[in-house]
Structure 1
């Protein structure tokens, strides 16, 4: 529509190319359509590109399955991978996607982003860590008592201060 405004203002095609940053072929096509049918000839431009293989309803079903989690979809662990997502899509819709296409669906159509799981030991005991941080860490951080005389020698165990 901006090109139509520029054509109506009397600008040449080459000026529209420079102003809008589009190709000369596109501008020429727009100009021909504008000359033959006016502004209305460019209003109802069709969607460009290939139509999606998954309908919005199918995509909503896939998203509901993904939100339910990997274990609910028959996988052993609770982590999604692109291969698993592609498998769920194929199982639910019959449409097979490559891993890169699966990522585009997740990112562009569903608005999801990549998440990395936190690296934590399965045996991690948060209560024990918190107790250690309150009980032992202040003592360790404080260090040795300053009243104990030391040595400058790096080979002696009590090397802390310089002798007078």
Structure 2
């Protein structure tokens, strides 16, 4: 289940955490597979105070559950019709990068050190990010990007919901 600590943080049991995250991933998957992205003529101007509040809330929540946050932010940007698919991908990538650096910094202040495998993971993640940024900005159209993202999320949700690894 979950435990509420005196410092106010919530810790979920590993299995429950995986199931909750897997179910949350089903929302953007459904959004990307079954609903179209807003066209340029449908986009609405954002409210700076609303944007800051949403960004702060998503940052806090993503930090609490240990994810980059783009998976929460992306569907919101599209749902609110503030951005199209490519703009959402760019904003989310930057958001995830900053949140990940913050999380890494927090872990380093707790005495966590890198082992040799971690450098390989960082290099692979960085290379994958560069390849994804190139494909998303230069090669894929809106629908292609949407279906690639939905497929990646579907694989992640399946793993969280139906495997033990």
TM-score under structure 1 length normalisation = 0.26
TM-score under structure 2 length normalisation = 0.26
User: Which of 1 and 2 has higher RCO (CA within 8 Å, sep 6+)?
Assistant: 2
- Computing the radius of gyration from Cα coordinates, the structure with the larger value is 1
Return the structure number with greater helix share.
2
